[in-house]
Structure 1
Amino acid sequence: MPSPDETFSQLCEHARQTGLLTSTLGILNWDEETYLPRDGRAHRAEQTALLAGMIHQRQTAPEVGRWLDELSAEPLAEDPHSTSGCVIRQLKRQFDKKTKLPQKLVEELTRTASLAQQAWFDARKADDFSAFQPWLEKTIALKQQEAAAVGVTDVAYDALLDDYEPGESTENVAKVLSGLREQLTPLVEKIVESKRKAPREILSRSYPVDQQAEFGKQAAAGIGFDFNAGRLDVTAHPFCGGGGPRDVRMTTRYDAGEFAGGFFSILHEAGHGIYEQGLPADQFGLPTGEAVSLGIHESQSRMWENLVGRSRAYWEHTLPKLQQQFESARGVGLDEFYFAVNDSRPSLIRTESDEATYNLHIIVRFELEQSLLTGDLPVGDLPAAWNEKYQTYLGVAPPTNANGVMQDVHWSAGLFGYFPTYALGNLYAAQFFDQAEADLGDLSEQFRRGEFAPLRDWLRDNIHRHGQRYSAAQLVERVTGKPLSHEPLMRRLNEKFSDLYDLP
């Protein structure tokens, strides 16, 4: 009979090999969103469905259950935050959940996601929700089956949320977002009523795409993204994925008549990429080498995009470089440019929204997808429900479904439960940033000098290297000494926008 150490080695080797298959699936998904020929979609759907089935088989193999049962009673599992304890705890959690899912359902979810994303892309381009509706209905039916099979609680949405934010509940997220909305709404109303308007037109001049791509790549490298272990490409909906910490694939999109969208998308995805590159490569395939949650992941992207990239100090350092690269930016003053990149106004598009209004976009989606999952909201009524909530929360109504209910790829990809992690990420980011500044000193002064390595290294030491040793809630308390709170974010938003818009 093998010793506990030998059994643990078998478990780790099995997990590492499963991780290799998962990373292969990641590369196929990246290729599907970037370079795959249109007519290759159906074949790719079969490829990804097969791989997803193989991964599921490995994750739910009987020997994995035996190994975990044996190891759970051994000293190796006693310290839940040790390498062995984390691996055993998290793989058992994964095993218990995955064994509840039929392999055929896993394969069909993957196949449908691949085909539904192409249908979404075509329908959005044609502004034809009716063409996408059958695919969304099928996706929701499959996600309902998944939630019923997993049965984390008697709330179906909990089962899907748990995939992205382990241990979190719909009730708690609803409470957090409701409190956030109560404080955000009056701030946004004051901004709308302010007579001061940001010179947004500065960002809507001629910014050639090839120059944007080069400038964005330099900016990503400047904050710490390693292009020897990653790359940047173009897609319809920006994301960060890839095959592991030494093969990180970022994507963005450009508009020659608009600078901010492409640039801040790059900073955002670079934040995700820096997290991936900061995970311990020697733990690849194991929970100790994987991100703890999407909310924590999002905290890294939002920190680099907003708390760094939209700071005045960042542009004190970066504006001269921008003006050297783009003729259209020459002659623009720092105050003007800083105000322009922090323009706040209710808008239609989530990915182009500002810090003050962004979380309201998330609340719309969070509320709607719960209603879709319970069946209280028929898919055919979704566009009208979307428009009504946008009018209520943001005071704007989409003129088209392409700029409304069909703007995000998430639902076509089956990512129900994903959206609230964006808002949680904003909260985590502000709280982490406050602690980083307390530990490192004046971050603004460092940014003015173009010094971003201290913050990146602090994040690597305090967050990235731990993998899944701690839950998101535990990590926040470990790093900051306090539970998650909306106060750091609201304090920053109130201070920044009160100054910019001369608010009472």
Structure 2
Amino acid sequence: MTAFDSLMAFQRDTSALAQVAGRLGWDQETMMPRGAAQQRGVEMGAMEAILHARRSAPQVGEWLAKAEAKGPVDAAQLREIRRAYERANKVPAELAARIARVTSEAQGKWAAARADEDVSAFLPVLDEVVALKREEGAALADGGDLYDAMLDDYEPGTTGAQIATMFDAMRPRLVDLRAAVLERPRPGGVTGTFDEARQMGLSRELAEVFGYDLSRGRIDKAVHPFSSGSGADVRITTRTSATDPFNCIYSTIHEVGHAGYEQGIDPDYALTPLGQGVSMGVHESQSRIYENQIGRSRAFTGWLYQRMVEIFGAFGIADADAFYAAVNSVENGYIRTEADEVQYNLHIMLRFDLERALMSGDLRVSDLEAAWNDRFLADFGYAVDRPSNGCLQDVHWSVGLFGYFPTYSLGNVYAGCLHQALRAAVPDLDAQLAAGDTSGATGWLRAQVQRHGGLYAPREVIEKASGMTPSEAPLLDYLERKFSDLYDL
């Protein structure tokens, strides 16, 4: 075997073990008994120790020094393995294992604190997570910016300063659009209750409508919906509310966007660095375009309205036009995952600024709740009513995902670029969506984005697919057109 062959064989085993570790995380969120949390933390720590040892193993460096690429795919494989190897060798093995153990335990403590509306029960373990992540960030940054080092885990090549510049460009137009919309009358919403089993049945149907292969996946329930896995085993979760079926519907479509990306990657890349989404920003571009530009379009909601009437009977909305307005209603609210397209990125900006301050040391964990509440009041104009609607609403910080939040907005920006190109490439898209057929859209995304996996750098894959340098302008233009039409601005 050549050095390249030996390196790839070793990498495939490492990737397989990482998939097993991911399955432990999926189980923790869906099936695991609550009393197993502490033991699961030990198990996750042990798995991370093994993975870290493999990623930083001396023989990986030796193979990298000798391996020769025979083409662009080989070169991309070596690029990603080298990047992971260099990052793994900057982080001490004991620290990596401790982070895995503590964040696994913190996740359970966050869930309990959220259920009890008790911030004080969560802050001590969050303080420990923040300290550990700052230590990891310092090791990765090697004298540079801690937050940039963390962001690089999720969006390689992007810095906090670049994200801040993007947000500065987005904020004025979003704030102006929100102000104009909120002066207009609100559309009516759904009434009555919606059977959970029927919601889950519709969830499964919608997953398949959007191209999710259930022979290589499954749908379960979780407090915070997520997608997990890659290749031949890609799982999603959703959640239900007896009075709000849109929660289940759009959580499902969103997570199918993530899962569709993973299922759409070239199978030749399975269990290699290229066999997964290249970044969380690109991943979010898929989930957000599935959920919003496709799933909340006038054409698709017309089809969805008829299906809901068939499944649930009358639910207080008179026709497809009223349903489209209800699905896209701009409302005051606390929850990021339930936010409308106009306000969603404002929720991300809040989290971005707070987590940067936590990582820099400018904000203490003990002051987080007050800082969140003050910022929310300033940005949205009304006070947080309880912790589960405030700093306890998201799972991300409990599991150490600092640097993740801005990729949601970056994904929205990428989705705006892709949507513009999609409309040009599939001129009869609305006719297809009105018939409940998303294959034109999802097929184009699979061919232009998903199949490449990690072959190209994040911005490169978006630029190749959309034919433009990524910019926030297409997203903002789309939002202004859509909501000016909806609210007769």
TM range (shorter): over 0.9
Matches within 5 A, 1:22-171: 22-71=18-67, 74=68, 76=70, 82-151=72-141, 154-171=144-161
1:412-444: CA deviation from partner (whole Å, max 9, x where unpaired): 010000000000000111111111121122311
Supply the distance in 1 between the matched residues of 2:69 and 2:379 (Cα, whole angstroms): 52
Task: Identify the range of structure 1 (330-339 vs 274-283) with the bigger mean alpha-carbon deviation.
Answer: 330-339
The letter of the residue matching 1:179 is: A
Structure 1 stretches of 4+ with a deviation exceeding 6 A read none
**1:77-110 deviation line (CA, Å, top 9, x unaligned):** xx6xx11100111111111111111110010000
Q: How much does 1:332 deviate?
A: 2.3
Q: TM-score, normalised by structure 2?
A: 0.98
The aligned counterpart of 1:450 is: 436
Q: Does 1:210 align with 2:200?
A: no
| CA shift in 2, pair 1:197/1:153, >3 Å | farther
Structure 2 counterpart SS, 1:249: strand
Letter in 2 for 1:360: L
- Compute the RMSD of aligned alpha carbons: 1.3
- What is the CA–CA distance in structure 1 between the aligned matches of 2:204 and 2:123, rounded to whole Å? 37
**In structure 1, distance between residues paired with 2:36 and 2:215:** 29
Superposed counterparts of 1:281-300, under 5 Å: 281-300=267-286
SS at match of 2:387: coil
* Deviation of 1:153 (Å): 6.0
Q: CA–CA distance in 1 between the matches of 2:282 and 2:143? A: 23
Q: Tell me the SS of whatever aligns to 1:251.
A: strand
Aligned positions, number: 489
Q: Is 1:197 matched with 2:183?
A: no
The alpha-carbon deviation at position 328 of structure 1 amounts to 3.4
Q: Equivalents in 2 of 1:332, 1:239: separation in Å?
A: 33
1:265 maps to amino acid: S
Q: Shift in Å at residue 387 of structure 1?
A: 1.0
Q: Which residue identity is paired with 1:198?
A: P
Alpha-carbon deviations, 1:461-503, whole Å to 9, x = none?
Answer: 1111112121111112212221111111111110111111111
- Distance in structure 1 (CA, Å) of the matches to 2:132 and 2:356: 15
What does residue range 314-353 of structure 1 map to in structure 2 within 5 Å? 314-329=300-315, 332-353=318-339
Matched, 1:400 2:361: no
TM-superposed CA distance for 1:191, in Å, is: 1.1
Is the CA contact 2:396–2:402 (under 8 Å) kept in the aligned structure 1?
yes
The answer as to whether partners of 2:188 and 2:317 remain within 8 angstroms in 1 is no
Unaligned runs of 5+ in 2: none
Gaps of at least 5 residues in structure 1 are none
* 151-160 or 206-215, which deviates more: 151-160
Q: Is the 8 A contact 1:191 1:345 kept in 2?
A: no
**Partner residue, 2:420:** 434
Partner residue of 1:223? 210
* Alpha-carbon shift at residue 288 of structure 1 (Å): 2.1
Per-residue deviation, residues 91-143 of structure 1 (Å, max 9, x unmatched): 11111111111110010000011100111111111111111010110000000
Is 1:235 aligned to 2:235, yes or no? no
Deviation at 1:331, TM superposition (A): 6.3
Distance 2:354 2:401 in 1: 13
Q: Find the partner of 2:470 among 462, 472, 484.
A: 484
CA distance in 2, matches of 1:330, 1:18: 52
Q: Percent identity over the alignment?
A: 39
- Residue by residue over 1:328-369, the C-alpha shift from the partner in whole angstroms, topping out at 9 and shown as x without a partner, is 337621111110000102311101110000000000000000
- State the 1:285 CA deviation: 2.0
CA contact (8 A) 1:323 1:330 kept: no
